[in-house]
Amino acid sequence: MTQSNLILVLGDQLTPAISSLAQADASTDIVVMAEVVEEATYVRHHKKKITFLFSAMRHFALELENAGWRVAYTRLDDPNNAGSLEGEVARRLARHKSKKVVVTEPGEWRLLNAMQNWSRSLGCQVDILSDDRFIASHSEFAGWASGRKQLRMEYFYRDMRKKARLLMHGDKPVGGKWNFDSENRKPAADDLSIPEPLRFEPDGVTQDVMRLVQKNFAEHFGDLEPFWFAVTRTDAETARDHFITECLPSFGDYQDAMLVGCRFLYHSVLSHYIHCGLLDPLDVCQRAAAAYENGEAPINAVEGFVRQIIGWREFIRGIYWLKMPSYADPNFFQTERKLPAFYWTGETDMRCLAEAITQTKEEAYAHHIQRLMVTGNFAMLAGVSPTEIHEWYLAVYADAYEWVELPNVIGMSQFADGGLLGSKPYAASGSYINKMSNYCSHCSYDVKQKTGDEACPFNALYWDFLARNQDQLGQNARLRNPYATWRRMSEDKRQTYRDSAAAFLSKLS
């Protein structure tokens, strides 16, 4: 009798052509999928994220069965559920008398590290294949990074454009330049008409999962209802097409804007679909490029969007695998503050933070500038420990997997790596938030006041951050102007900033 291999498919590997399935034989091999407590609780993921992933996994199992695969699927509430991926694989090995497990490499280091011991602990052959859903392989990124003093996304991105043949005329970029960011970053007017992302009614499968999540993960952060994410490939593709026709044309212009009550603006809200394998990143980019070629979206929007995916997404993954496991630990500013409690409730008088956190709680989503310049900026200015803020980001977003979350938080947002990923900290006072949003006109603090109880807290915190980190940042060429301004201030003024920041921080803790 032909031996069955077990093909383990993880929750973020819901791609029919993934390397593990591509090499397998549907007539003999058995696909193993499992909902396990260990993955759902290594951080206490948002309820919407668990619901999304379990429902998408169940739909994917059906998709595979319809395509002729045998799928051994374990639900979370199966009384025999072993509780961990390794335990589930062990159970299936014994049941099917298999001798070999094949899996595409997981996205997170912790799981790869564990899997590398499985052949010993499980007593069978374990083949870990590379994940070719990315444009750059680990070795390609390592080769690109090798010997470079600084790793900057922009140069890597150009190589990815050439490799993927996206927005290229021969070897030249379409539109005559690689990056159209100078045409983006416009603030948005209050009365802008903004399309909403497509919402999908939960079907019977999703409703079952919602009950399961409510029962088992009730104490996890976030609102379960209303649940409106796509959980099938077909619906995720409909959401993708809706973004391309309705939002992409204005994506560039308002990429950095923030408005009270407008949770998505022109963002795609596709990251959780892309990361779990329901959408193919290159295909999404090709469709965006086609919209430009057909005259349906301008180059600044399309180039900006494509750059996020084949530039930032690939670059961030490259950094993660280049630097793990030590990349989880850096603490350049040696900060230790606990995460303020309002990060879990949204209950703060600071309107920008209240908006970003409340929508995170309700939607498991905030867009990039909210993550970077509101929640991330505040945590860095206030001196929150990088580990605390990293664990928060990993738990609260539907698109959070450590490979993409950690470099964005540790590197881009907190500068905890001392500048490996970015050339300067994204530190900003209230005036940046006021320029890019209408939050301040709805806030009980006054963004124009610099110090005192009624002043926007970001203002004093910004100067206090620069002052207390002068040893680490004083020589940074990109901070020459703010440090020159700081030095020009009278000592009295500088002290007033420090006192104001200290008064605010003492209330915070």
Which residues lie near ligand FAD (CB under 6 A)?
A: 267-271, 274-275, 305, 308-309, 312-313, 316, 367-368, 371-372, 376, 393, 397, 399-400, 404-405, 408-409, 412-413
The whole-angstrom separation of Cα 307 and Cα 289 is 11
Using left for φ > 0, alpha for ψ between -120 and 50, and beta otherwise, residue 303 falls in alpha
User: What SS3 class is residue 437?
Assistant: strand
Q: Which of 5, 20, 30, 45 binds ligand DLZ (CB under 6 A)?
A: 45
- What are the DSSP E strand ranges found in 116-270? 125-129, 168-169, 172-173
The whole-angstrom separation of Cα 75 and Cα 58 is 9
Which residues, numbered 100-159, are part of the site for ligand SF4 (CB under 6 A)?
none
Stretch that binds ligand SF4, among 205-213, 294-302, 319-327, 350-358 (CB under 6 A): 350-358
419 Cβ contact partners less than 8 Å away, ≥ 6 residues apart: 332, 476
14 binding ligand DLZ? (CB under 6 A): no
Stretch that binds ligand SF4, among 79-87, 215-223, 276-284, 453-461 (CB under 6 A): 453-461
324 binding ligand DLZ? (CB under 6 A): no
DSSP string, 221-243: SS---S-----SHHHHHHHHHHI
439 binding ligand SF4? (CB under 6 A): yes
The whole-angstrom separation of Cα 184 and Cα 49 is 31
386 binding ligand DLZ? (CB under 6 A): no
Mask 81-120, x = binds ligand DLZ (CB under 6 A)?
----x--------------------xxx--x---------
Total residue count of the chain as it appears in this document: 509
Stretch that binds ligand SF4, among 55-63, 205-213, 409-417, 438-446 (CB under 6 A): 438-446
Q: Are 320 and 402 in contact (CB under 8 A)?
A: yes
Q: Which of 6, 21, 36, 433 binds ligand DLZ (CB under 6 A)?
A: 36
Smallest distance from ligand DLZ to CB 130, Å: 14
11 binding ligand DLZ? (CB under 6 A): yes
457 Cβ contact partners less than 8 Å away, ≥ 6 residues apart: 350, 430, 445, 504
352 binding ligand SF4? (CB under 6 A): yes
User: What SS3 class is residue 6?
Assistant: strand
DSSP assigned state of 441: G
Nearer CB in complex with ligand FAD: 51/451: 51
Mask 403-432, x = binds ligand SF4 (CB under 6 A)?
---------------------------x--
Smallest distance from ligand DLZ to CB 119, Å: 19
10 binding ligand DLZ? (CB under 6 A): yes
15 Cβ contact partners less than 8 Å away, ≥ 6 residues apart: 21, 133, 277, 280
277-305 as b/e: b if 16+ CB within 10 A: bbbbbeebbebbbebbeeeebbbbbbbbb
Q: Which of 90, 258, 443, 505 binds ligand SF4 (CB under 6 A)?
A: 443
Nearer CB in complex with ligand SF4: 58/450: 450
Place of tokens 């609780």: 41
CA dist 508 to 93, 337, 382, Å? 52, 10, 9
CA dist 167 to 136, 223, 244, 307, Å? 18, 40, 16, 11
* Residue facing ligand DLZ at closest CB distance: 11
Residue 445 binds which entry of ligand DLZ, ligand SF4, ligand FAD, none, with Cβ cut-offs from 5 to 8 Å by kind? ligand SF4
Neighbours of 339 (CB within 10 A): 16
Residue 393 binds which entry of ligand FAD, ligand SF4, ligand DLZ, none, with Cβ cut-offs from 5 to 8 Å by kind? ligand FAD
Q: Which of 111, 230, 373, 447 binds ligand SF4 (CB under 6 A)?
A: 447
Interface ranges with ligand DLZ (CB under 6 A): 10-12, 34-36, 39-40, 45, 50, 53, 85, 106-108, 111, 401
Interface ranges with ligand SF4 (CB under 6 A): 350-352, 430, 433-434, 439-440, 443, 445, 447, 456-458
